[in-house]
Amino acid sequence: MSLLYDTFDSPIGALTVAGDSQGIHHILFENNRYDAKGREHWQRDAHALRDARGQLLEYLRGERVRFDLPLAPHGTPFQLRVWKALADIPFGQTWSYVALARHIDHPTASRAVGAANGRNPLPIVLPCHRVIGSSGALTGFGGGLETKAALLRLETRRDALFA
């Protein structure tokens, strides 16, 4: 798949955004657990992805709580359902994998939900960082646990300032 992409510096390290006329397909951290396939065919075009870059940087500066971007993730029907549900987790809050499984009407599928969450191609925008273990522990995150903790702190501070 030939996508347009941009890579830029951010407060949490370099981010890469890739998309096409249908929407954003990928947001990648510097050190991703899973890499996007076909990157050798991508073409750099910062101008085409300026809205995504701008909104991500606004969020990371604490100036944005919602994203308004066309999204075009590719996955199984179950993955797509989980990823769509991530957008229902309110800014500044966390849900457990069990809560997310219940939210999509699959209360016994917390492991499958966790696997789908781990494959989320649009982290931050579809906020998989807001999903934590039932004990409250931070669990795996494609951008690393330090990045997950930083994103949660950013949202908590922002939420506390405007409560």
For tokens 């769509």, name the residue. 84
Mean pLDDT of 47-76: 95
Contact partners, residue 105, CB within 8 Å, separation at least 6: none
One-letter amino acid for residue 98 of the chain: V
The whole-number pLDDT of residue 154 equals 92
The yes-or-no answer on residue 85 being catalytic is no
Q: What domains appear along the chain, each with residue ranges and CATH number?
A: 4-60 (3.30.160), 77-161 (1.10.10.10)
The whole-number pLDDT of residue 138 equals 83
Residue-wise pLDDT tens digits, 27-41 = 999 887 677 777 888
1: confidence class by pLDDT, cuts 50, 70, 90: low
Residue-wise pLDDT tens digits, 70-90 = 999 999 999 999 999 999 999
Whether 41 contacts 1, CB under 8 Å: yes
Q: What is this structure's pTM?
A: 0.90
Catalytic residue selected from 128, 132, 151, 152: 128
Residue 3's CB: how many other CB atoms inside 10 A? 22
- pLDDT at residue 143 above 60? yes
163: confidence class by pLDDT, cuts 50, 70, 90: very low
